[in-house]
Amino acid sequence: MNGEPTPGEPATLGELLVGRAESAGDRIYLEDARSDDALTFDQVARAAAAFAATIGSDGRVTVFVHDDDPLTFAVAHLGAIAAGHRSVPLDPALGADDIERLARLAGEPAALVTRDSALAERAGLRRIAPPTRAVDAAVGRDAASLFRTGGSAMLFTSGSTGTPKGVELGAEQLVFVGGAVAEHLGLTSVDRGYNSLPLFHINAEVVGLLSTLASGSTLVLDRRFHRTGFWPLMAQRGITWINAVPAILAVLATEPIAAPEGLRLIRTASAPLPGPVADAFAGIPLVVSYGMTEASSQITATPVDAPRAGTVGVPVGTQVQVRTAQGQAATDEVGELWIRGQGVVRSYFAGAAADRFDDDGWLRTGDLGALDADGYVTLAGRVDDVINRGGEKVYPLEVEEVLLSDPAVREVVVVGAPDDVLGSVPVAFVIPAHAAHTAGDDVALVERLTALAEERLPRFKRPRTVTVVDDVPRAATGKVQRVRLRAAVAEHPAEVE
């Protein structure tokens, strides 16, 4: 591929890597936030090609990537996909039993990228050494021949049954959405992004790695978010945009925001952004987005120059429908969200959950929301999260937004608790804005929130109990795991009465 690819231009991942190496080879692509380690576009392309050669060319391989160094992880993941293989990015905390179970589900010849030979042996997989960054210049001349079409990323998502469903996304889908994100954010070669989200999650892979590749900009990778010294780090690294989630922004909002002058936007995803948290970042454009693994990450996002409070923006490269319980498309009415588009998975691996797809290629997301006449989407929660209180429907987000209006609250999670008469009633778990809270503070906060609910919510939506907690169950990305919280409430109902 000659020249520099542009966002939205059809290209394979290999073509993107080689194209960037040819047109912007000396420009930094990936940078470690906590060291001087950095890789140029040229170095990433060469390292990815060299890594591809170590996988072998005797058929397609499922490559499980297990490494806690973000730059090494990125090269292995990109290299495997660009070489036409299937990359399965893993949480570095996963042990041999979990890896072996996922390998059985994948059902293809598989290998494990790890520094730990014993781990590969226990998992019963061929070991591939992590990619090296010291690559002979001659590899560059052969890079294009080592990259092929047909590569993909496989991520596993658990449903209500807890059985993992494989979501396999082709390289062309990932590249398409990465380009769409770059175009929506207006990324250019002078941008420097910051990402502390885990690279084994679709957000960091597409919104982080691929939007940066598509735009020819730089991405600073951090192993994890640190509140201490965060803003000085942003200034030191010259960060122009931040890829975050509401939990990170909620922590930052507890202290004065000291954003560097060059910061032009913060993108947030994975969960609704509480109003008080958004208010704390006044003056900094916030791009609020909605996405899912099945859509190669992004589905909607607020325009940088036209945000609309309370919404998750407009569709970006994806079609969105809201359907009523009768299956009819609706506007300005809460219903279930259905999506279709180039970045949306066509089916789950091995034919799982086929009933979530209709004959026209639309995917049922399981999310509830409304679509207004201007195309902005407002979320109302998950179908499984709706609380049926004696026949009345309670959407947890409605209750959470009311309680979040108290500035002493950082986060609220409302779930249903079993009730012998009504079936289910809402209960609220509240995380205070300040970690150093006392029992007396907790009592006063509960009293205020109870009064607030009585003032602003109809009786059937008011939480039966409000409980102050330090945290709630979360996934590795920081996303609240409501299923686990509901299970805990159902198992110990007396603790929330």
- Condensed to tens digits (0 to 9), the pLDDT of residues 209-234 reads 999 999 999 999 999 999 999 999 99
What are the C-alpha distances in Å from 225 to residues 198, 247, 492? 10, 10, 33
Which residues in 137-240 belong to E strands, given as ranges? 152-158, 164-170, 192-195, 218-221
- Whether 183 contacts 208, CB under 8 Å: no
Rounded to whole angstroms, the Cα distance separating 409 from 411 reads 6
Q: Could you tell me which of 316, 335, 315, 317 has the C-alpha nearest to residue 325?
A: 335
Which pLDDT score is estimated for 158?
Answer: 61
Which pLDDT score is estimated for 141?
Answer: 52
Q: Is the pLDDT of residue 311 over 70?
A: yes
- Domain coordinates in residue numbering, the chain: 13-224, 265-383, 386-496
Which pLDDT score is estimated for 10?
Answer: 46
Which pLDDT score is estimated for 485?
Answer: 92
Instruction: Please state the rounded mean pLDDT for residues 13-31.
Output: 94
More confident residue, 99 or 494: 99
- Whether 19 contacts 44, CB under 8 Å: no
Instruction: Please state the rounded mean pLDDT for residues 463-469.
Output: 95
Instruction: Please state the rounded mean pLDDT for residues 254-273.
Output: 91
Q: How confident is the model at residue 445 (pLDDT cuts 50, 70, 90)?
A: very high
Beta strands at 126-128 and 164-170: parallel, antiparallel or unpaired: unpaired
- Whether 179 contacts 8, CB under 8 Å: yes
Burial of 23 (0-12, 13-18, 19+ CB in 10 A): middle
Q: Is the pLDDT of residue 83 over 50?
A: yes
CATH class of 265-383: mainly beta
Which pLDDT score is estimated for 162?
Answer: 53
Which pLDDT score is estimated for 258?
Answer: 96
What is the chain's mean pLDDT, rounded? 90
- Superfamily designation of domain 386-496: ANL, C-terminal domain (3.30.300.30)
Q: Is the pLDDT of residue 8 over 60?
A: no
Q: Could you tell me which of 485, 460, 487 has the C-alpha nearest to residue 388?
A: 460
Fold annotation for 13-224: Rossmann fold (3.40.50)
What are the C-alpha distances in Å from 280 to residues 193, 252, 303? 21, 9, 19
Q: Is the pLDDT of residue 140 over 70?
A: no
Rounded to whole angstroms, the Cα distance separating 394 from 416 reads 9
Query: Taking the CB of residue 202, how many other CB atoms lie within 10 A of it?
Result: 27
Q: Is the pLDDT of residue 3 over 50?
A: no
Q: Is the pLDDT of residue 378 over 80?
A: yes
Q: How confident is the model at residue 393 (pLDDT cuts 50, 70, 90)?
A: confident
Q: How confident is the model at residue 5 (pLDDT cuts 50, 70, 90)?
A: very low
Instruction: Please state the rounded mean pLDDT for residues 33-49.
Output: 94
- Whether 431 contacts 414, CB under 8 Å: no
Q: Is the pLDDT of residue 129 over 50?
A: yes
Mean pLDDT lowest among 4-13, 420-429, 458-467: 4-13
pLDDT single digits (tens) 344-354: 999 998 888 88
Q: How confident is the model at residue 7 (pLDDT cuts 50, 70, 90)?
A: very low
Query: Taking the CB of residue 56, how many other CB atoms lie within 10 A of it?
Result: 14
Which pLDDT score is estimated for 437?
Answer: 76
Q: How confident is the model at residue 247 (pLDDT cuts 50, 70, 90)?
A: confident
Q: Is the pLDDT of residue 438 over 90?
A: no
What are the C-alpha distances in Å from 375 to residues 270, 306, 330, 371? 20, 12, 12, 6
